[in-house]
Structure 1
Amino acid sequence: MNAIVEKHIGKEAYEAVLDKLNGNEEYREVAADYIEDFLIQLDEQSMLEEDAPPADLLEIPLRFIQGYKQSREYGFSKTWSKYYGLRKAFVRNEDYLLADCFDVVSKECLDTAKKDLRLYCEVKRMNMVYII
């Protein structure tokens, strides 16, 4: 935990978030990195209020973590899951999430993007014909 996390979130609240991930090192590492990056971005944009309660500061990171974790548990790639978590933290419309995730992953590997898209359709019980 770096200084910005300790100052604004506190060790107890930070550890409580990581403890919810049941010792899964991948999730803990992704969550820790996201929380730190999120606070640094807020600070750089002068949007980090000194007296903001930790619960308020953790609201968006928790939505990210939940989206990432859910995607990985379904079997999505790390790239898809990370981008899905990022978008899920801020965007509520699933159609935009699907298009954005596919676009980002396809730039890295089209085969992985197609695999993740098929999996998305299975999870959501959608017919892929209507998506393509």
Structure 2
Amino acid sequence: MIILDENVLRESICAAIARWYTGRVRFISDLRLNSVIKDEAIPGLLMSERQPTFVTTNTTDFSQRVAPHPRYCVVCLTLPNERQDEIPDSLRRLFRMPAFRTKAARMGNVVRAAPTFLQFHRVGDNTVHTVPW
């Protein structure tokens, strides 16, 4: 399951991901209807779902502040709002990398995808890994 952050609340992005991703694509607001979801509540909501990959462009709040957990993956795409249409292709590109190809491989990672490199850290490993992409 892919869960899109509230800063990515565009049906066109959801639909573009759903064209190639075989699982469900939902918005974070679908997990707790009719309420404001604060950033610090998101890890708990993710753990209530089955192996979700949370996608956001809010890299400041998530890439450094959210701890990796074996039950979810967080993907922070460093894209400004005017380039959000690139989210589906960037996500698909990430999912084609061997280290992130399967849901099982993604779980436990917090990933920051910049234009030319990826940084990620995972459960049980305090090292921040940087790879070109």
**TM-score class normalised by the smaller sequence:** 0.3 to 0.5
Task: Normalising by structure 1, report the TM-score.
Answer: 0.36
Task: Normalising by structure 2, report the TM-score.
Answer: 0.36
**Rg (Cα) greater in structure:** 1
Structure with more relative contact order (C-alpha pairs < 8 Å, separation 6 or more)? 2
Higher helix share: 1
